[in-house]
Chains A and B, each alone.
Chain A
Amino acid sequence: DAGVIQSPRHEVTEMGQEVTLRCKPISGHNSLFWYRQTMMRGLELLIYFNNNVPIDDSGMPEDRFSAKMPNASFSTLKIQPSEPRDSAVYFCASSRRTSGISTDTQYFGPGTRLTVL
């Protein structure tokens, strides 16, 4: 089975440009998570969706960041305008949530390394 797919794997852009990161979760998974990894802050949650609905976006740094999940098989994370401090590795993860106490495990994509010059 295909795992979580992210594109692009690498992105280099200039400050002020719009950046769009894409994620395709594992088929059948109904929860999707966006994490960011930096040297200074480590791995931190940006936002997560359940059944395509954003549940917790408390980790989204500011209004420059937005995320959407128009259907169960696709999500985007957009940064507009981008800044050098946004340089990081962005991970998408998905899981299958069942009813009751959830024991789901999150499976990660390969990440997108973003560099903002």
Chain B
Amino acid sequence: AQTVTQSQPEMSVQEAETVTLSCTYDTSESDYYLFWYKQPPSRQMILVIRQEAYKQQNATENRFSVNFQKAAKSFSLKISDSQLGDAAMYFCAYRSAGTGRRALTFGSGTRLQVQP
């Protein structure tokens, strides 16, 4: 079974600074997808960014980018120019590319605080 580990329960960043959230995963599969979801206090789960394992290029969405290291099974999220609205829980998630196994496996989350 796949596992996802987020070793940083809490992180803090100053507004306008850059922060990196860590995520590692364990799998024997070669094809899969990785995601970062944001959960603000409203508890809505919001997709931040997605990475296909077969793509070597790191995904980028505006101020959010990932550092995907397939051999190391590492998938970190970098938030640039942090804003107060970025404060939330961030969950890393894994999904197999196999059509029969499509549920997401989540990490335990990292709570990000943004200091003004």
The reply to whether chain A is a binding partner of chain B is yes
Q: How far is the CB of B114 from chain A (nearest CB, A)?
A: 22
At the interface, yes or no: B75 with Cβ under 8 Å from chain A? no
Say yes or no: A107-B103 contact (C-beta < 8 A), given A42-B108, A101-B31, A101-B97. Answer: no
Taking CB atoms and an 8 Å cut-off, the chain A residues in 56-115 that contact chain B are 56, 59, 89, 91, 93, 95, 97, 100-108, 110-111, 113
Contact present for B47 and A110 (CB under 8 Å): no
Contact present for B52 and A103 (CB under 8 Å): yes
At the interface, yes or no: B25 with Cβ under 8 Å from chain A? no
Interface secondary structure of A, over-half rule? strand
Q: Using Cβ atoms and an 8 Å threshold, which residues of chain B touch A35?
A: 104
At the interface, yes or no: A45 with Cβ under 8 Å from chain B? yes
How many A-B contacts if CB must be within 8 Å? 55
A12 to B109, CA, bound (A): 26
Residue of A nearest to B31 (CB): A101
Q: Hey, which bits of chain B sit against chain A, CB under 8 A?
A: 31, 33, 35, 37, 42-47, 50, 52, 91, 97, 99-104, 106-109
Extra contacts besides A105-B35, A110-B43, A113-B43 (18): CB < 8 Å: A42-B106, A45-B104, A48-B103, A89-B43, A93-B45, A100-B99, A101-B99, A102-B99, A103-B33, A104-B102, A106-B47, A106-B104, A107-B47, A108-B37, A108-B44, A108-B45, A110-B42, A111-B45
